[in-house]
Amino acid sequence: MELYYRLEFSEEQQVFHADNYKCQEGTNGWFTIFEKCTDTDFYIYESYVNLIPQKRKTKEYLLKCATEVKQFQENLLNYGLVITRQSNIVIKK
C-alpha cells in the first residue's frame, strides 16, 4: 500500500519535497503541487515535467504540468488503463 504525502517544490532551491503533513504548507518559499500524492504519482509527474528540459523549473510550468498529468491519468482510467510500478500498463476489462 502506497502512502500519501503533500508534494511541494522550491523554485529557489529547484527541488521537490514530499511532506508527510507535519510541516506547515506553503512556508519558506515552498509551494504545493499536489495535496495528495503517492510515489507512483510523483514518478509519473516528474517524468512528464522532464519531457521538456529546462534550466529552471517555474511555479507556473510545474502547476501547468500537474493539471495536464491529472487529466492524462483521468483519461487513462476512462480507457480502463492503470499505471503501476510493478508493470507498465495494465488493461482492466
- 58-66's contacts with Cβ under 8 Å and 24+ in sequence apart are 58/11, 59/9, 59/11, 59/31, 62/9, 62/33, 63/33, 66/33, 66/34
Domain ranges within the chain, ordered by starting residue = 5-91
3-state secondary structure of 56: coil
pLDDT recorded at residue 88: 53
Say if residues 66 and 7 touch (Cβ distance below 8 Å).
Answer: no
- How far apart, in Å, are the Cα atoms of 43 and each of 22, 48, 93? 22, 9, 25
Q: State the pTM of this model.
A: 0.83
28-42 pLDDT per residue, tens: 899 999 999 999 899
39-59 pLDDT per residue, tens: 989 999 999 999 988 889 999
